[in-house]
Amino acid sequence: MNIHLYEAIFILLGCVGFAIATYIYEKKQKKKKLICPLRARCDTVIHSTHARFLGVEVEKLGMAYYGVILLLHALMLLNPTFYPDTFAFLAILFSSGAVLFSLYLISVQAFVLRSWCTWCVLSAFTSIAIFVFTLLSPFHGARELFTEYRYVIVILHLIGVILGVGTATLSDILFFRFLKDFRISEEENMILGTLSQVVWFAIALLIISGTALYVVNADTLAHSGKFLTKMIAVGVLVINGFLLNSLIAPSLVKISFIKDDPMSDVRFKKLRSLSFALGAISIVSWYFIFILGALRGMTFDFMGLLTLYGSLILVAVAGSQIFGPRMLGNSKNMYPDKKTTI
């Protein structure tokens, strides 16, 4: 592909993405209703609590990302000889992150909000297109770049593990601390939601860095019990996080954690038990990944590790159902005065 045409495609995609993010931002600032094609519910989505990630409005993140893409490729078009490896590596890194973030936002629309924003979906497709064209770039090879920056990838992998372990541990500690009155308030739910977003960021780092490491050393890692089990554990974390986001988080402020509460709906009693189980799966998976990463230079049988991991999950889930309610104390006739709003 001609280099000028290649960069022109990137500039076009950057302009489309930046225009979408700017449109959403301006409408929100002026408090005007979005024109939402395909009879979608754009305003429901962009004004939800999920329209912020780590305290920053999603459209601002989009404007920053597409703005960088637009600027860098405009510079490339003006000076085609300028294409350092560092820029190519960062382009793959950021576009990979943008795709994962887009998939996260789409899953939130589909399974949490159950509402769609046409502009948000179009932005997701734009970020996917940028990622695909980045991978298909004729000016660099992904494997060569990942090999050159292998130590950077390893550092990102370690950051993901440490961040995930720390945040998952803090989330569990705060969860039981918040349950002193046997309910989760809106404010406490927001804190847990922010920590959940940090966990998603850590998972994204593991997916990106893990994939890059596999590309660099596919022959070895394809037969590595440690690596394969770690990736399965990451997959479990993704599914676990999806269930927490779609089932538990939307109803958390409605759940009574009083044991055998006669005022609690049967559905919420089941969600209470599920919240304990999913929390146990999360903490076991993160520490399992952390410990495997710490055992450097040691080899393990894949089926043996997988069996161990599965056994730990089963024990943790069973323990959560036995000891989770007990950690809350005797609360059969106790009803909190905390006012919660839905």
Rounded-to-integer distance, Cα 116 and Cα 321, Å: 36
Percentage of residues of the chain with pLDDT beyond 70: 88
Whether 140 and 85 have beta carbons less than 8 Å apart is answered as: yes
Structure tokens at 61: 């993140």
Q: CA 307 → CA 225, 279, 304, 314, distances in Å?
A: 11, 20, 5, 11
* Residue count (the chain): 342
Q: DSSP character for 297?
A: T
* Tens of pLDDT, residues 186-221: 888 889 999 999 999 999 999 999 999 998 888 888
Please determine, for residue 337, whether its predicted confidence score (pLDDT) is greater than 70: no
Count Cβ neighbours within 10 Å for each residue of 108-119 and write b for 16 or more, e otherwise.
bbeebbeebbbb
pLDDT of 1 strictly over 60: no
For residue 52, pLDDT over 50 is answered with yes
Q: What is the pTM of this model?
A: 0.87
pLDDT in tens, 115-130: 899 999 999 999 999 9
Please identify which residue in the block is written with the tokens 């089963």.
314
**323-328 contact pairs (CB < 8 A, 24+):** 324/276, 324/279, 324/280, 325/257, 325/259, 325/276, 327/176, 328/176, 328/179, 328/182, 328/257, 328/258, 328/259
Check whether 81 has a pLDDT greater than 70. Answer: no
Is the pLDDT at 25 greater than 60? The verdict is yes
pLDDT for position 260: 62
Tell whether the model's pLDDT for residue 104 goes beyond 90. Answer: yes
Q: CA torsion, points 83, 84, 88, 94, in degrees to nearest 10?
A: -110
In three-state secondary structure terms, 140 is coil
Confidence of residue 338 (pLDDT cuts 50, 70, 90): very low
Amino acid present at 171: S
Residue from 264, 272, 230, 253 nearest 341 by CA: 253
Helical H segments across 79-185, by residue range: 85-107, 118-135, 142-148, 150-178
Q: Calculate the average pLDDT of the chain.
A: 86
The reported pLDDT for the residue numbered 2 is: 62
**DSSP H stretches of helix in 182-243:** 186-216, 218-221, 225-243
CATH of domain 3-140: 1.20.1440.130
- CA distances (Å), 272 to each of 173, 256, 268, 321, 338, in order? 17, 8, 6, 10, 18
Percentage of residues in the chain having pLDDT higher than 90: 46
At 285 the pLDDT is 96
Report d(CA 12, CA 117) in Å as an integer: 22
- Summarised one tens digit per residue, pLDDT across range 133-171 is 888 876 667 788 889 899 999 999 999 999 999 999 999
Report H helices in 55-113.
58-78, 85-107
The amino acid sitting at 40 is A
Residue 300 φ/ψ, nearest 5 degrees = -140, 150
CA–CA dist 261, 259 (Å, integer): 5
Model pLDDT, residue 82: 63
